[in-house]
Amino acid sequence: MTTWNLDALYKGFDDPSFKADLVKCEGISLRYKALIEKHLTHHNDEIGSIEAFLKALIEDMTTLRRVGAFGHLSFTTNSKSKDALMTKSKVLKFESMLTEPRVAFKLWLKEIDSIDALASKSILIQEHLFFLEELIASTAHMMSPKEEILASKLSATGASAWETLQSKASSQLSYEVPLPDGTKAMPIMAIRNLAFSGDKSIRKLGYESELSAYDTHAEVSAAALNGIKGEVLTLSSLRKFDSPLDETLFNSRMSRKTLDSMLRTMEQFLPDFRRYLKAKSRLLGNEGAMPFYDLFAPVTESDKSFTIAEARSFIVSYFADFSTELSSFADKCFEAQWIDFEPRAGKVGGAFCSNIPSINQSRVLLNFTGKLKNVLTIAHELGHAFHGDRIMSESILNTNYPMPLAETASIFCETIVRNAVLKNADEDLKLSILENSLSSATQVIVDILSRYYFETAVFEERKDHPLSVAELKELMLDSQRKAYGDGLDENHLHPYMWLNKNHYYYAARNFYNFPYAFGLLFATGLYAKYLEQPDKFLTKYDEMLRATGKMSIVDVCSIMDIDPENEKFWASSLEKIKEDVDAFEAIVDQKLSK
């Protein structure tokens, strides 16, 4: 089967278990009203009150995440499903019901003299000490209880509604493409996949058709982006953050020193990525800088294609070289139908993994077309699933890891497969693998920088006024020029990259760009440590993954003896990528000299 199976969640929207859980969620307000009256109106039994509240949160979050996962996953593979859309809306309402009790619990916790003293007398409190300390720390950035409740309720008809509109409209977008064998109506993801064609004229046609399709959709996306970013700016200010970026760093458990150290180092290595782009452009026969539509072009005629079965065998075998546990887990994901593979109308673009602690399982969405890049994407997403598997031994309240650490296991697993293939590759396959790797790294370092620059500029401009489509396009072009420099043809950039990246429309996850760079560079550094001491690495690696939901980033990194605030660490990881650029450039020069 090429589609996933969601029966472990529910067998359908008419499943009695699904309906029963909806009824249970409807009662959240009444349950917590009674809980607050019984436990949060005094401090007579602080341990008993905290334990009662933790148990209630664990039970209700388990149910909510199960219902939410079913609605979300159903929607992503069929954005026309009314039941899925209705479920997503209901989950937002249910989550808003938890705002008032969470606020009350935070303020009550703040009054306690010593949470550490209570933790020493309660196993349950000790297990959730980091979670409780974060709740207390967050009170410094809270509006009044009434304002927090109002903001949560309004979000369902504000930023969350804009996000759903953008996702639904963009996933259903199609365009008449004048292909050589006749004009054909194609969904937007199929059009974007033309970028991987071996025929330059098809790649250019796909690029031009994509931009034309976005012309018809741009006003909707601009309205959504303005609505979301405007709301974020308002709430961020009211919660006493200096900026949305500061709020993101706070929620990410990441220091500004870590971010600045990483970004500065990335900028220092931009000339090396531009060397790669220029070398690829020469190989593709371009006279000057590379046009945007050639970014994902294959560089060898023998660019291998894979069936799903071949991809499975490929990944499982290479994972086994690292860990039999990882290999067996990956095989189970294929066998148990946890993966939805192929693109189709109504299915969202891209790829993601959804970890579902409510059922101790994950689901992976792909848009698989058989390319080596797609195989590496499977390895990447299975890394997310493996991370979820490690952390599911924790309480559900300790499973929310911050964005920068979210990409660690995924990129690590992708690196395992990529490096294993490189060992025995002939020149053409080596070139293809290096190209796939460097293409991905360029997206994660260079394009991510352009997205970071863009989002920073959007927030700055949005303080003053809603941005027009023309302004958004120009900000995107400016950001691409700054990041890519002379590596790309400035006459063939992509002014609509703000439209096809869903991350810009996540109100709760602003600046969902630099975490990818953190993940790549952190995973690259981890892989180097694995090669140095493979026997000692696995135990510490598992410990680190389990800790990601209950430690700051600095503390998580310290488990692996890494200091993320030191530029030397980031430089050492980027040097590894620079070595790949050198190898790629040497092969290109050799080929062109023949």
**Cβ atoms within 10 Å, residue 202:** 17
At residue 548, φ and ψ (nearest 5 deg) are -65, -20
Q: Is 182 left (phi over 0), alpha (psi -120 to 50) or beta?
A: left
**Three-state SS for 497?**
helix
Tens-level pLDDT at each residue, the chain (594 residues):
799 999 999 999 999 999 999 999 999 999 999 999 999 999 999 999 999 999 999 999 999 999 999 999 999 999 889 999 999 999 989 998 998 999 999 999 999 999 999 999 999 999 999 999 999 999 999 999 899 889 988 888 899 899 988 988 888 899 999 999 999 999 998 899 999 999 999 999 999 999 999 999 999 999 999 999 999 999 999 999 999 999 999 999 999 999 999 999 999 999 999 999 999 999 999 988 999 999 999 988 765 789 999 999 999 999 999 999 999 999 999 999 999 999 988 898 889 999 999 999 999 999 998 988 899 999 999 999 999 999 999 999 999 999 889 889 999 999 999 888 888 788 888 888 899 889 989 999 999 999 999 999 999 999 999 999 999 999 999 999 999 999 999 999 999 999 988 889 998 889 989 988 999 999 999 998 898 888 889 999 999 999 999 999 999 999 999 999 999 999 999 999 999 999 999 999 999 987
Task: At 19, list the tokens.
Answer: 């309906």
**Contacts by 278-282, CB closer than 8 A, 24 or more apart:** 278/486, 278/487, 279/581, 279/584, 279/585, 279/588, 279/589, 280/435, 280/584, 280/588, 282/588, 282/592
Pairing relationship of beta strands 361-365 and 352-356 according to DSSP bridges: antiparallel
How far is residue 513's CA from residue 122's CA, in Å, rounded to a whole number? Answer: 39
At residue 156, φ and ψ (nearest 5 deg) are -60, -30
pLDDT digits (tens, 9 = 90+) for 406-451: 889 999 999 999 888 888 788 888 888 899 889 989 999 999 999 9
Position 303 scores a pLDDT of 58
DSSP structural state of residue 38: H
How far is residue 60's CA from residue 178's CA, in Å, rounded to a whole number? Answer: 52
Task: At 109, list the tokens.
Answer: 């916790």
Domain 16-156 has CATH 1.20.140.70: yes
Position 371 scores a pLDDT of 84
With residue 354 as reference, give the H or E element that holds it. strand 352-356
**Three-state SS for 10?**
coil
Domain locations along the chain: 16-156, 308-430+517-569
